[in-house]
Amino acid sequence: MLTVDHTISPSTIHGLGVFSSEKILTGQLVWTFSPVVDREVPIEHLLTMPDHVLRMFARHAWYVEERSTFVIGTDGDYFMNHSDEPNLTDDGEYMYAARDIEVGEELTCDYSAVTVVEFDPNKGRAHAKDIREFYTTITQQNAPRRTSKEIGMLAAVSCSAGPRMQSRA
């Protein structure tokens, strides 16, 4: 849940973006998980959904490996865009202003800090990757699980009803 007043408007980065409606000071809390506003969905439930729903989650939610769930915001967070030089930082449970942010400035985060299925950190842009394929890949991998800090905003409260989850699109 975004803790600052904001609007959704066309973005020069991609499609729509979330813009601050108030001055935000360096270090100010800008996002925290709220079970009322943010939803955590187990991957098993998503796999029963139609493809257009899977595409929405692939683009706008982030995957929390420790819980095999996706977290999706239902407020302006849904429209937050990636930047290689974001004005927000995240410590695993919260997002803070990395610097002073002016009224009307787009709020951005670093998608490479979280697991957004359609985001390819090597290319720095979204690519078409299906959640069904993603699920198959992660269930077949023997790689060690990442911690919530490594995943980003997801910790125990990531974008879910508990800790915070990360990755945006």
For residue range 120-137, what is the model confidence (pLDDT) as tens digits? 656 544 444 566 677 667
pLDDT digits (tens, 9 = 90+) for 74-88: 888 888 988 989 999
pTM for the model stands at 0.70
Distance (Å) of CA 87 to CA 90, 97, 100, 116: 10, 6, 8, 19
- DSSP bridge pairs for 88: 97
**94 in Cβ contact with 154 (< 8 Å):** no
Name the percent of the chain lying above pLDDT 70. 67
Q: What angle do CA 47, 38, 97 make, to 5 degrees?
A: 125
**What's the mean per-residue pLDDT of the chain?**
76
Write out the DSSP string of the chain.
-B-S-EEEEE-SSSSEEEEESS-B-TT-EEEE--TTTEEEEEHHHHTTS-HHHHHHHHHH-EEEGGGTEEEEESSGGGGPEE-SS-SEEE-SSEEEESS-B-TTPBPEE-GGGS--TTEETTTTEE----HHHHHHHHHH--PPPPPHHHHSTTTTBSSSSSSB-----
Contact 155, 102 (CB under 8 A): no
- Mean pLDDT value of segment 10-28: 96
